[in-house]
Amino acid sequence: MRARLFVLFTLLLPIALIGVFAQQPPAQPAGRGQAQGKQGGAAFGRGATPTFPGPPAGMQALPLDLFSSKNFYKDQKLWSDQRYFRCNTPRQLTDIWTSRRIGDKPPTSAAWSDCSIDYPRDKIVSPYPYKTAKEHYAALLAAAKAKGGPTVYTKATTPDWDGYYTRDQQADHGAEWIWGTVNQVPTILSLLTPEYQKRMVQINYHEAVDNAPQWEASFCYPEGFMRWWAQASQGGNFQLTMTPWNVQFLSGIAANFLRQVLIGKEHVQKVPQWYGETIGFWDGATLITWTANVQGWTLSHSMFEFSDKMETVETFKPVVDASGKFTGLDHETVFYDPLAFVQPLRATYRYARRATPDNPTQRYTYIECLSNLRNTDGRPTQLTKADPRYIDYYGRPWAQNWEKYFEVGWDKPQETLPQDILDLFK
């Protein structure tokens, strides 16, 4: 019972805090009582956020911006100007209330950030000539066939990549733009079609100005396909299982990601899937995959949405050390979404194998997302037992419902506490 209560607490506390703290007013205005630096200060919110009470040196505020606008839809011509967002990255916008950078007269008192922070657009867009994932995958398959492939493995010869992986923070960082931490908002907007630009600014406004975040983990919504690449989802810290016909990735922290690469197969799904349908082949020691039939969703956290036209081509290549020992995987993804993106996008990362399957303590713990956060007047709110929508997940909620509505006034056998509850008081 103690273990059960502990697991419940550790799973629910971070989710609950999202709703509770998202609506808390700042204890003190940004730039006051915080670490000050040049030009009003490098006050540190989440992730050592540079904070300025006014525009940094060399910057002049716009007469109208996200935090003073009454209707962001009418400001479309300003969306391409980083000053419209006060130079905050998407992640800084989504955290501007919880990092207490909103100021003492929100939202117009919201802090500025470092206007020089940005990750080059040309490093985000795909360097390849392919217009579609189908074309890209076909070209890689043709190249493999030209060399006598695709490679076909047996149980005895399948590459030994089994084990537990984590993102290698010291290696390549070519996927961090997906996290919303390294780019000015207009740079990300420049990757999107007009409709999806509008949707992203809508997220920016209602998370940063109205303090009404709609995050997946808060409400136990599905994570969605692209969240696998997001930092907070922990999708990249996975358990990998290899077979000749199926390569399986299992990961997650608020919800489970189950990604399977079906080797030598074709796409057959008729309706979109939350994590799509992935097929693949081997080109020597390189695994090449094509994901299609993806359910459109959102990255949330002031980032963008993607459509059900989303497809990816991914490559996984082994990394070895100086002695030739396998240590991890280099991973490249090219995202194709003609509805959401103006051109294909690219992300790269390295995953380090931290344990092999014979490790005696490594486990993947299956996740059940349990939340009592509900939208109240448009904002996430933590419910109490007094609210009829509250669910006591570990208290036999089905029985509580029957007793409340159908067994009122009934004579019942004398109740005793279960032994595992009594054990808590020993």
Q: What pLDDT digit, counting tens, does each position of 193-225 carry?
A: 999 999 999 999 999 999 999 998 889 999 999
d(CA 54, CA 52): 5
- The answer to whether residue 174 scores a pLDDT higher than 60 is yes
Q: Are 240 and 252 within 8 A, CB to CB? A: no
For the entire predicted model, the pTM comes to 0.86
Tokens 């992730």, residue located = 47
d(CA 340, CA 358): 43
- What does the pLDDT read at residue 48? 67
The model's confidence at residue 49, banded by pLDDT at 50, 70 and 90, is: confident
Domain ranges for the chain, please list them.
121-178+220-355, 373-425
Question: Which tens digit of pLDDT belongs to each residue from 246-287?
Answer: 999 999 999 999 999 999 999 999 999 999 999 999 999 999
Question: Which tens digit of pLDDT belongs to each residue from 61-91?
Answer: 999 999 999 999 999 999 999 999 999 999 9
- Cβ partners under 8 Å of residue 408, min gap 6: none
Compute the average pLDDT of residues 340-347. Answer: 98
The model's confidence at residue 35, banded by pLDDT at 50, 70 and 90, is: very low
